[in-house]
Structure 1
């Protein structure tokens, strides 16, 4: 499986978006060695971030969503571990007789 290319620097993306919004859409992909789809996606995301488009998530919202998904994953793992530990401790207590105090 080929290694994925590293992400383009934000400055590079911003410059491409700026040029695309200025009207240079046809030659951008060839000149800067990116695909037309990539340029369209960057322009779309820029419009979402600027608030001129309302049909998707902004970059900040995407970052927050990714952070929350990671947090949910960790919390589910912790819950599963605690559940298994509770079951194990409950089973340990079944086999031993309880001490009674004669108070």
Structure 2
């Protein structure tokens, strides 16, 4: 968009697929159209999602530790 080069040439220069580049350009154009309120809502949603994923990851780690402890008990017997 900024260089004025055709998409196939830019994709080749970047070493990416032309379809992938077109997808990126489309996303960039949509992002330019969003309002500050939309961006704030998106940031709030992503922050909440990040917190939920961190919590879930912690729970999975604890479950993994429990499974490993049980395996060690069975292995020692």
- Alignment TM-score, normalising by the size of structure 1: 0.39
Among residues 47, 67, 78, which one is paired with 2:45 in the alignment? 67
Q: Which runs of 5+ in 2 are unaligned?
A: 1-34
Q: Which runs of 5+ in 1 are unaligned?
A: 1-48, 50-57, 99-103
- What does residue 95 of structure 1 align with? 73
Identify, as 1 or 2, the structure richer in helix.
2
After the TM superposition, which parts of structure 1 deviate over 4 Å for at least 4 consecutive aligned residues?
none
Equivalent residue pairs, number = 42
Bigger radius of gyration among the two? 1
Secondary structure at 1:96 match in 2: helix
How much does 1:97 deviate? 3.2
The separation in 2 between residues aligned to 1:65 and 1:83, in whole angstroms, is: 27
RMSD between aligned residues: 1.4
- Alignment TM-score, normalising by the size of structure 2: 0.51
How much does 1:75 deviate? 0.3
Matched, 1:78 2:56: yes
